[in-house]
Amino acid sequence: MIDLPDTTLFKRRIPKQKFYENLNVTTAIKQAFIEQIKVIFWNNKIAPATTNISAGKSVNEVELFEIKLNTQTLDEAVLKLIDREIPYHIVFLLSYEKKYQLWIGYKEENGGKSAFQVSGYYHTEWQTKEEISLEIQGLDMDSVYENFVRQIAGDKLKAENSDESLKESVEREQQRQALKKQIEKLTKAVRREKQFNKQMELNKELKKLKEQLAEY
């Protein structure tokens, strides 16, 4: 269950055209908005003004956007575009045929034109309204946002110890995913290799990568 205070309710419909009509977007992204999205609602605004939570150093507000879909899949580029255009941290609630999925991007402050840059997205499985869960946890907006990311990411960003920051958890997961890609690529190379000696060398390298992955 998504348990957010009534004081955070915002309930504004956002015309999806706003995200692609006057922006320099690719044809593919525009088509994704048109074909995959039914409607977008700005459901909640979680901020010091709407809760008893203190302001954060880098997080001012967290918005909850509900995106009602025409299909069960949504191009991640759509979320990236919305995240780029809205200067706040956003939780996305995707809904399709009475099933729900939460998505969130790990946002970091950016010294460039946009306020933040997203280094990666995390999401839940598709769940019923009763199963889907999100709770406000934390005394300031920074910790509320970090807890949202951890709740949605689940075991992927489970801290190894109480001192591990969210940034460290994200970096560890990124390294883990990079290793998995290397292992997958090298495994295919081993299967293709015909020379026994070369195959042995590749297997030795593969074993090292798997040992590194086990450490994460």
Give the DSSP letter of residue 54: B
pLDDT attached to residue 112: 52
pLDDT at 216 over 80: no
What's the pLDDT band for 111 if we cut at 50, 70, 90?
Answer: low
pLDDT attached to residue 81: 92
pLDDT attached to residue 159: 83
pLDDT attached to residue 87: 86
Minimum mean pLDDT among 29-33, 60-64, 93-97, 109-113: which range?
109-113
Report d(CA 99, CA 204) in Å as an integer. 45
What is the average pLDDT score of the chain?
Answer: 91
pLDDT attached to residue 1: 82
pLDDT attached to residue 161: 79
pLDDT attached to residue 115: 62
Report d(CA 6, CA 80) in Å as an integer. 28
pLDDT at 171 over 60: yes
Report d(CA 56, CA 13) in Å as an integer. 27
Span 93-99, average pLDDT? 97
